[in-house]
Amino acid sequence: EVQLVESGGGLIQPGGSLRLSCAASGFTVSSTYMSWVRQAPGKGLEWVSIIYTDGTTYYADSVKGRFTISRDNSKNTLYFQMNSLRAEDTAVYYCAMGYQPLHVNFWGQGTLVTVSS
Amino acid sequence: EIVMTQSPATLSVSPGERATLSCRASQSISSNLAWYQQKPGQAPRLLIYGASTRATGIPARFSGSGSGIEFTLTISSLQSEDFAVYYCQQYNNWPRWTFGQGTKVEIK
């Protein structure tokens, strides 16, 4: 059974950093397309970043240069390093898996990141 | 950026009735469209991909249609568990997916 469990969210001041983790089971992270999708309170879904099976990464313009997606194959875990956080980064961050880089087949339950002073 | 526009924002439907949700793309996306269902406090769930292919385990009452710029999600006979928010997502411009703003299906 595919499972994705996010952790690492919390309250952080503007300009601060956080690292999100997504522990995967039931499949191999390096063999699938792993993404982060966020949802601001009461809002819709926004794609943020993806890492391909070959390690290629892509980012939304809103986070490029501040956030970094990575994975640890030995731990079968996806990470999201978020630096220079802004109030507009406040959202639930979902870890998401796709068998192709096209749509999401499975979602984690999400972790809330709140950027506020 | 491809902008996805969903309508209506809210759809009030009685259990057992048909629900028809629309999604329009700002430019042609062929059949590169997915639909997701999200219930309060839960993660989204994939319903449809390729505009019309149901994901594994999705009941036959859910169907998708359309291509190009106009797409439709139809729920043939609404069950209590179907009241939720539905999002469309284009992946024609992958990896830069974009989502619609969502349609909330509520009990009439």
Q: Average the pLDDT over B74-79 and give the result.
A: 95
Q: Average the pLDDT over A68-94 and give the result.
A: 98
- Whether residue A103 has pLDDT greater than 90: yes
Q: Average the pLDDT over B81-91 and give the result.
A: 96
Interface test with B, best of A53, A56, A102, A111 (most B CBs within 10 A): A102
Paired sense of beta strands A45-51 and B19-25, if any? unpaired
Contact B44, A45 (CB under 8 A): yes
Can you give the pLDDT at residue B94? 85
**The amino acid at B48:** I
φ/ψ (deg, to 5) at A88: -75, -5
Degrees, nearest 5: CA angle A59-A65-A67: 65
Residues of chain A neighbouring B58 (CB-CB closer than 8 A): none
Residues of chain B neighbouring A52 (CB-CB closer than 8 A): 95
Q: What percent of chain B has pLDDT over 90?
A: 93
Q: Average the pLDDT over A69-77 and give the result.
A: 97
Please give the full DSSP string across A41-73, using - where no structure is assigned: TT--EEEEEEE-TTS-EEE-TTTTTTEEEEEET
Q: Which of residues 29-58 of A touch B (CB under 8 A)?
A: 44-47, 50, 52, 58
Closest partner residue to B89 (CB to CB) among A101, A103, A110 is A103
Average per-residue pLDDT in chain B?
A: 96
- Whether residue A112 has pLDDT greater than 90: yes
pLDDT digits (tens, 9 = 90+) for B23-76: 999 999 999 999 999 999 899 999 999 999 999 999 999 999 999 999 999 999
Contact B74, B18 (CB under 8 A): yes
- Whether residue A99 has pLDDT greater than 90: yes
A105 vs A60, A63, A74, B63, CA distance in Å?
Answer: 20, 24, 23, 17
Can you give the pLDDT at residue B108? 87
Q: What percent of chain B has pLDDT over 70?
A: 100
- Whether residue A77 has pLDDT greater than 90: yes
